[in-house]
Chains A and B, each alone.
Chain A
Amino acid sequence: MEVDLAVVGAGPAGLAAAREVARRGATVAVFDEHPVTGGRLRCQLHPAGRGWSSGRPKAEELAEAARAAGARLLTETSVWGLFPRNGRGHGGRPGPGPGGWVLQCTGWHTGPVTARTVLVATGATEGALPVPGWTLPGVITAGAAQVLANVHRVLPGRRVLVVGLDPLGVAVARSLALAGAEVVGVAQAPPGPASGRRGVPARALADLAGSVAGGSLLPPPLRLAARGLAREGLAGFALRRLPARPVKRWGIPFYLRQAVTELRGTGQVTEARLEPVSPDGRLADGKTLWLVVDAVCLSGGLHPLIELVAAAGARLACVPELGGRVPVTGPDFQTTLEGVYVAGGAAGVEGADVAAAQGTLAGLAIAETLGRISRAEAGGLKQRARLAVKLARRQAPITFHPRIHAGLRRLRACWHET
């Protein structure tokens, strides 16, 4: 197979880019491991204003637009390697192949695909929250709970515990309660270095309060103080003054002063141990609780899924505000590899609307590279697309990491250094 653009990932970023490039007459193939397009947008159900925002209609619209524009959507196909076409592999300097790139695939389409340009729109992956017992069946990630409940319409459990105080964990807890589960609690992540910032309650609370949706996600006694709580010192101060009992909001107990330290069960999870934890993430004196559960959702945070582009040799930067290591990108979402672009979660973890807007921008830049739009025309279109990214960011119903603007500035600085 030979195409002008190969897109890896049929989520909002990949589909929007495919639409922009295919509608200008270039050949576009979009690959995705999943049987259905739409990526994680399809399973999203986030509190928005007084109601809820479902991602499914948006996902279907994006897929239909890409298909109508002429892009081929190849599902159940994994792309496992990205190599320069001129044959300079791992040994040589990774870099621009004058003949473009070769993607190695397995699944419905098996074998190589050559592409003049590549967009890696692989999205994000969830971080781990290791705790004794976390390999028991019934212990799943927050994202898996979203897929089960909102796509497959299967309730993860009747008595569900959510672990990890962050925007995704809180949104998932609320959506499970909405779907009819008894959410027995949202508890702090297990203390220790493996939990990262989540393992330190003051930091977890400050990060949550600092996220755009944070104010509305906080339980009421803390809600009014959201702005102040975004500072770790004040968040710790507030935590110390909270009673030991959980704070209740939307019928869900928030165990802000307790962390999960063990999960137990035979064959599947049935019990969770909660122990008092200090704001700075150390086990404290006090009563240990055992909660009876039949499912546990771990929310370990979202990180860009970058293996494909990293292994191909793109320069990376560590930007915690964007979720960790991200490819260094320029204003058009180009990477340091000629002809290779990233957009969406893989370029920095943000919401689906931001991802789609980024995909549109990257698609315009790719169409320009392919000679499908003139430089003059591209200039105006890209300018408008950049504004659309900013607008989507401002209006995002959910953000996953605080201080996103600082992260973006740092990433741009890295680009100018290269």
Chain B
Amino acid sequence: MRIQDHPVLGPLPPTPTVTFTFDGVPVQALEGECLAAALWASGIRILRHSFSGRQPRGMYCGVGHCYECRVTVNGVRDRRACLTPVVAGMDVRSQPPDLLEEARPAVGGPVAEGRKPEAAGGADGS
């Protein structure tokens, strides 16, 4: 469901692809895009199951406000898929409904190792 040719924005610029895994299954992504977009483009919309009612949940607001798209990235839980850029080889896992009952590991700090933020001279990432 990629928009290859857009009447106003033009053709999709050539972008290198990278591979990460979602629940162990390899997923292709465009370099620099966020997890939520890469998963949606691959037809994966269920990102976790809710604690109450065990209902499927996926991306909702797309801009980091609602926390509906939280996933476990390289062992760190509750990363927002809509704000987390894909890095090759990333291990992404959907969050099971009983996650709340587990001990909470230390949170915080970047998970995208090997990337530099913009201010440190990295590319814009667009």
A154-B50 in contact (CB<8A): no
Residues of B within 8 A of A154 (CB): 1-3, 37, 40-41
B61-A34 in contact (CB<8A): no
In the assembled complex, the Cα of A93 lies from the Cα of B83 at a distance in Å of 35
B62-A35 in contact (CB<8A): no
Residues of A within 8 A of B50 (CB): 135
A125-B85 in contact (CB<8A): no
Interface flag for B34 (CB, 8 Å):
yes
Chain B residue at minimal CB-CB distance from A75: B118
In the assembled complex, the Cα of A235 lies from the Cα of B40 at a distance in Å of 39
Find residues 118-173 in chain A having any chain B CB closer than 8 Å to their own CB. Answer: 125-126, 135-141, 143-145, 147-158
Find residues 30-60 in chain B having any chain A CB closer than 8 Å to their own CB. Answer: 30, 32-34, 37, 40-41, 45-47, 50, 55-60
In the assembled complex, the Cα of A56 lies from the Cα of B13 at a distance in Å of 14
Stretch at the interface among B4-12, B20-28, B70-78, B96-104: B4-12
A74-B61 in contact (CB<8A): no
B109-A73 in contact (CB<8A): no
Residues of A within 8 A of B63 (CB): 34, 40, 143-144, 147
Interface flag for A179 (CB, 8 Å):
yes
Nearest chain A CB to B108 CB, angstrom units: 5
Q: A137-B57, A148-B40 are in contact. Are A54 and B1 (CB under 8 A)?
A: no
B2-A140 in contact (CB<8A): no
Nearest chain B CB to A177 CB, angstrom units: 10
A35-B34 in contact (CB<8A): yes
**What's the tally of chain A residues with a CB closer than 8 Å to chain B?**
55
B58-A137 in contact (CB<8A): yes
Residues of A within 8 A of B85 (CB): 35, 76
Chain A residue at minimal CB-CB distance from B58: A137
A-B contact count (CB 8 A): 139
In the assembled complex, the Cα of A36 lies from the Cα of B34 at a distance in Å of 10
Stretch at the interface among A106-114, A203-211, A215-223, A379-387: A106-114
Residues of B within 8 A of A34 (CB): 63-64, 83
Q: A74-B119, A76-B110, A108-B117 are in contact. Are A150 and B58 (CB under 8 A)?
A: no
A76-B3 in contact (CB<8A): no
Interface string of A57-93 (1 = CB under 8 A from B): 0001001000000001111110000000000000000
Nearest chain B CB to A249 CB, angstrom units: 18
The listed residue (B2, B57, B118) touching A73 by CB distance below 8 A is B118
B8-A35 in contact (CB<8A): no
Nearest chain A CB to B40 CB, angstrom units: 5
B118-A153 in contact (CB<8A): no
B46-A268 in contact (CB<8A): yes
In the assembled complex, the Cα of A40 lies from the Cα of B64 at a distance in Å of 12
In the assembled complex, the Cα of A179 lies from the Cα of B117 at a distance in Å of 31
Nearest chain B CB to A92 CB, angstrom units: 28
B56-A268 in contact (CB<8A): yes
Interface flag for A45 (CB, 8 Å):
yes
Q: Which of A108, A109, A139 has the largest count of B CB atoms less than 10 A from its CB?
A: A108
Question: Can you add 9 more A-B contacts, CB < 8 Å, to A37-B124, A51-B8?
Answer: A34-B64, A36-B124, A60-B126, A140-B61, A141-B61, A144-B82, A149-B3, A154-B37, A158-B1
Q: Which 10 A-B pairs have the closest CB atoms?
A: A144-B62, A137-B58, A152-B37, A137-B45, A108-B117, A155-B1, A147-B62, A154-B41, A153-B3, A52-B8
Residues of chain B touching chain A, judged by Cβ–Cβ distance below 8 Å, are: 1-4, 6-9, 12, 30, 32-34, 37, 40-41, 45-47, 50, 55-65, 68, 82-85, 108-110, 112, 117-119, 124-126
Give 25 A-B contacts (CB < 8 Å), ordered by A residue. A34-B64, A36-B124, A36-B125, A40-B63, A72-B119, A73-B119, A74-B117, A106-B109, A107-B109, A126-B65, A135-B55, A137-B46, A137-B56, A137-B59, A141-B62, A145-B62, A148-B62, A153-B6, A155-B1, A155-B2, A178-B8, A179-B6, A267-B46, A268-B45, A268-B58
